[in-house]
Amino acid sequence: MLKQSLQQKLLQKLSPQQIQLMKLLQLPTTELEVRIKEELEANPALEEGQEKEEWEDEAKEVADDEGSEALDEFDFDEYLDDETPDYRLSAQNHGADIEDKTIPFSGGATFFERLRDQLGLLDVSPDIRGFSEHIIGNLDEAGYLRRDLESIVNDLAFTEGISVEREALEEALAVIQQLDPAGVGARNLQECLVLQLRRKFENGSDSKLVRRLSQRLGLEILEHHFESFSKKHYSRIQKKLDIDEESLRDALNEITQLNPKPGNSGSESSRGSAVQIVPDFLLSIEENELRLQLNQRNAPELRISPMYKEMMATYASGAKTNAQQKDALAFVKQKVDSAKWFVDAVVQRQRTLTITMQAIVDRQQAYFISGDETDLRPMILKDIADEVKMDISTVSRVANSKYVQTPYGTFLLKSFFSESLTTETGEEVSSREVKKILEEAIESEDKRKPLSDEKLSKVLNDKGYNIARRTVAKYREQLGLPVARLRKELG
């Protein structure tokens, strides 16, 4: 049974221009440059260059004879594509089913390609070569084989129809473990370190007897006392091996020089490349005053093509006697409107970035002048959003992907945001300040007897920061610092 009814709904929808602004706002400088180049290539009505204020007056004069002659020389058909559907010429010209593709570029051989190249130089049977290549495909980016050989046996049987014995895969894995860098093909950290140190010892590149003895002792520790080594139970190792502290220190020095992630030891990552950070803001101190600048690469000069403006004015003022002329006017208008929206979005992006960063600088003025992290004030996204009268999500888009270059280094904006804590005197301080003091306390501790979280909490309490032990543990983990037992070192 069909039924008709009237309903009222209150919906909040974003215009294409607002969506475009949000997308531009979250782009860092390098990605903005790429986005602008894409728009310049896609829209012939958009050009690089400074906009002329008098363009409206010029557009009104294009209907005269001189303007008409200039238009006659322009082949408008070059910009028409009769096969493009109408919905792709609208302002929101990407449907939900249109895939947004980007093409990544990388140079040089990957980690896996280098392994296969080395494998091609070895004298091994075709079967072992094929199994070795299959195992290489199962290595992770760090160079480890995380899957057990039984699973690979089953893979080859069910997916490739190849019956293989585990012993053959063991032989193939042994071939891979001969490749460079040393340690590749290991199934765990212990095996990885053993492979590296054993190769150094067997190569005998170091003729010093003391060094050779230290390497041999290091192998003994890794092969038979790895658990004690990983937990830094050094006294237990000394007792079991009957060695003095100096010998243990030399052996540990050999071990710490090894690479726990041999797959990342090449000049490039296997599936990624180094990212160059380009600051969005430049902050300098001139005569004890802070001076903030927007990176000029963030402020490109864009304008609407004068030719397209003239074409639009000409077609609009003339009689549209056929469908082709009407379509031509619609095409030109759509391109000009799209260019105008893009220019406006870039300008609005510059304005939003500048206002937001200036509010951050004003609030953290003491820190930016001194460079001392203990001068950082508590600051959350809402503080800046209230100051600049913008939505928190807008401030978040700016803070999460933008960098500022200061006299003390280049930092991500979100690193200046932190929660507040109250001292015994009732003063609000930044959690960044507390983390800095915690980090300094750990750096200056006696590494033979590192401070536990409980003792670190007492150190902070003595300095006036009422911090519980579990909060110390949370901050220590955020700083990437291990527990006391793993910070222990030999003197």
Helix (H, G, I), strand (E, B) or coil at 257: coil
Say if residues 472 and 453 touch (Cβ distance below 8 Å): yes
What confidence score (pLDDT) does residue 222 get? 93
The answer to whether the beta carbons of residues 303 and 51 sit under 8 Å apart is: yes
Distance CA 174, CA 105 (A): 34
SS3 409: strand
For 455, the 3-state DSSP assignment is: helix
pLDDT, tens digit, 9 for 90 and up, residues 300-311: 788 888 887 777
Residue-level pLDDT at 195: 93
Least confident of 189-193, 233-237, 265-269, 325-329: 265-269
Gap between the Cα atoms of 190 and 223, Å rounded? 8
Q: Among residues 141, 83, 85, which one has the least CA distance to residue 110?
A: 141
Which pLDDT tens digit goes with each residue over 182-224?
999 999 999 999 999 999 888 875 557 778 888 999 999 999 9
**How confident is residue 424, by pLDDT bands cut at 50, 70 and 90?**
low
Please say if the pLDDT value at position 277 is more than 50.
yes
* Residue 464 confidence (pLDDT): 82
Position 223 scores a pLDDT of: 92
* Res 17: pLDDT: 66
Q: What are phi and psi of 354, to 5 degrees?
A: -65, -45
Q: Does residue 478 surpass a pLDDT of 50?
A: yes
> Amino acid letter at 446?
D
Please report where in the chains the tokens 């192998």 appear, as a residue.
219
Task: Say which range, 164-168, 262-266, 329-333, 448-452, has the weakest mean pLDDT.
Answer: 262-266
- Cross-strand bridge partners of residue 292: 283
Mean pLDDT of 19-23: 75
**pLDDT score of 66:** 41
At 226-242, the pLDDT tens digits run: 999 888 888 899 999 99
E strand map for 287-442:
289-294, 302-304, 403-406, 409-412, 420-422, 428-430
Q: Say yes or no to pLDDT of 447 above 70.
A: yes
The per-residue pLDDT of the chain, averaged, comes to 79
Q: When comparing pLDDT for 454 and 312, which is higher? A: 454
- State residue 434's pLDDT score: 83
- For residue 237, what are the contacts with CB-CB under 8 A and spacing of at least 6? 221, 225, 228, 229, 243, 248
Could you tell me the CA-to-CA distances from 420 to 256, 281, 291, 314, 376 in Å, in that order? 39, 26, 27, 62, 10
What's the rounded Cα separation, in Å, for the pair 455 and 270? 43
Answer for the pair 374, 82: CB distance below 8 angstroms, yes or no. Answer: no
Instruction: Of 195-199, 344-348, 356-360, give the lowest mean pLDDT range.
Output: 344-348
Which of 78-92, 137-151, 174-188 has the least mean pLDDT?
78-92
Cβ-Cβ contacts under 8 Å for 30 (sequence gap 6 or more): 276, 278
pLDDT tier for residue 171 given thresholds of 50, 70 and 90: very high
Given this model, what pLDDT does residue 327 score?
79
Backbone angles phi, psi at 376, to 5 degrees: -70, 130
Q: Please state the rounded mean pLDDT for residues 422-447.
A: 80
Distances 345 to 375, 394, 401 between C-alpha atoms, Å? 36, 14, 18
Helix 234-241 to helix 209-224 angle (10° resolution) is 110
Weakest mean pLDDT among 279-293, 302-316, 405-419, 468-482: 302-316
What pLDDT sits at residue 316? 67
Could you tell me which residue, 225 or 80, shows the higher pLDDT? 225
54 pLDDT band, cuts 50/70/90, is very low
Does residue 15 or residue 242 have the better pLDDT?
Answer: 242
Percent of the chain at pLDDT > 70 equals: 78
Beta carbons within 8 Å of 43's beta carbon, 6+ residues apart: 335, 338, 339, 342
